[in-house]
Amino acid sequence: MINDKVKGILNEQINKEFYSAYLYLSMAAYLSNVGLYGFSKWMEIQAHEEIDHGMILFDYILKRKAKVELKT
């Protein structure tokens, strides 16, 4: 089991990681639209990295039988 304060902090960080991934994907789309494909690919890679970070925390919480709380 996880302390409620720690669980809250971890859930907050998961949401920040996924939000960051969303921003990177937004930038990737823009850069691709203006023909900067190398920069776009780099942004996609960064998005995947943020998702990976979020999923590490996601799995950590679930393995401890705690609740993951994803925000809109």
At 17 the pLDDT is 98
User: Which architecture, in CATH terms, is 4-63?
Assistant: Up-down Bundle (1.20)
Which parts of 1-72 fold into alpha helices (H)? 4-33, 37-63
What are 34-69's pLDDT values in tens digits? Answer: 999 999 999 999 999 999 999 999 999 999 999 999
Output the pTM of the full model.
0.91
Is residue 3 within 8 Å of residue 50, measured between CB atoms?
A: no
- How is residue 64 annotated by DSSP? T
1 confidence band (pLDDT: 50, 70, 90): confident
Residue 30 predicted with pLDDT over 90: yes
72 confidence band (pLDDT: 50, 70, 90): confident
Is residue 67 within 8 Å of residue 61, measured between CB atoms?
A: yes
Give CA–CA dist 16/46, Å, rounded: 14
